[in-house]
Structure 1
């Protein structure tokens, strides 16, 4: 089952998976591509809606970008270069707050994160040759346009994790609000840089989700573990 597979990956890497009811696990999956400006990554959100004794897992998958758009690659806002979030698990690093003072999102307010600085000002994502930079970079999880879908990243991400579909993001924030009511305003975000580890399991999710139906553009699945 997908949850067991995720737990195996987490164990191998020393990551945590939350079993507590309604405590969100938020995992970004970066695609195997160095071509920027497309929403070709995914965010997997899953939580136990049962009990610790009898877990019942809900699982959603949404389209996002985990990478900056070409505008910021060519015009970095930081002299060190454009930020690309380094894969890892960022425990209790995020909280619900206003993104750029405009609307509520998950914002990097509680701990520092490490980014890779892409400094060569071309339109190609450079994941491995840049310099690491630990700090308060404002790598938030937010949406692109206010309504509908966005098809090119452009200025919507200077390193943030950005939802393609506005309705998906609204639904995601409802899940975050439920988490906050039960567990407080602290969230963990995990970023993996290879979708290969999930490819086999994602087929199972897609098949099962087709039977349950599409929820706000994301896949919804409930399974007993």
Structure 2
């Protein structure tokens, strides 16, 4: 999928969401969920759009916005596996530690999730919605290599497939934090929104 700064800006504005277009390193963190609701692969996208010296920049990384099959079939929550509902979440994340192991973006504000509880491999987005703090973080899969399959890497988090892409994302967030603070808004789109 080819995604550019202008595409993301237009999509967010069309949906009535905020798009940060002022100042250097004012990051827009945007997930793009594909229509495939059975995949256990990193078939979604995680985009970062920002300006530097007035010029627009955009990076797009392979990611998953869906839980892996393991957690769909073995929910860790009694109400079912968490699947983030598309939308914009103001100040959703802050810089912190994922499970106390490495720097990541960790949930600070409530999020809305579908609760898929039928324990099959298909993601159900017509499931009941739950609001709250569920540990919906943004982190990486393996720390040593790019991952192909989601499996246990996501139980509802937004997960980048490649540790080097993730390191770049966290470096950008660290640089942005010096200008804009350590909290970050996240917008989850569907591919059809672009």
Deviation at 1:7, TM superposition (A): 2.8
More helix by share: 1
When residues 151 and 2 of structure 1 are mapped into structure 2, their CA distance, relative to the original with a 3 A threshold, is: closer
2:124 corresponds in structure 1 to 126
Q: Find out whether 1:86 has 2:80 as its counterpart.
A: no
Question: What's the TM-score once normalised by structure 2's chain length?
Answer: 0.94
- SS at the partner of 1:10? helix
| Higher Cα radius of gyration | 1
Q: Does 1:181 align with 2:178?
A: yes
Written as runs of structure 1 = structure 2, the 5 A alignment for 1:127-166 is 127=125, 129-166=126-163
* From 114, 119, 122, the counterpart of 2:112: 114
Q: 2:9 aligns with which of 7, 10, 18?
A: 7
Aligned residue for 1:156, secondary structure, equals: coil
Q: Deviations over 1:59-97 (max 9, x none)?
A: 101000000001101110001000000000011121000
Partner of 2:70: 71
The one-character-per-residue Cα deviations of 1:200-219 (angstroms, maximum 9, x if unpaired) are xxxxxxxxxxxxxxxxxxxx
Q: Number of paired residues?
A: 191
Indicate if the aligned counterparts of 1:36 and 1:68 stay in contact, CA closer than 8 A.
Answer: no
| Matching of residues 31-42 of structure 1 within 5 Å | 31-42=34-45
CA distance in 1, matches of 2:84, 2:193: 19
Alpha-carbon separation, structure 2, partners of 1:74 and 1:4: 38
Query: Are the equivalent residues in 1 in contact too, given 2:33–2:189 (CA < 8 A)?
Result: yes
- Cα RMSD, aligned residues only: 1.3
Write the deviation string for residues 101-150 of structure 1: whole angstroms up to 9, x where unpaired.
111101112x10000000100111111x2100000011100000011111
- C-alpha distance in 2 between matches for 1:131 and 1:196: 23
Q: 1:188 to 1:167 in 2, by over 3 A?
A: same
**Separation of aligned partners in 1, 2:161 and 2:26:** 24
Distance, in Å, in 1 between the alignment partners of 2:12 and 2:162 is 28
> Unmatched 5+ residue regions in structure 1?
199-225
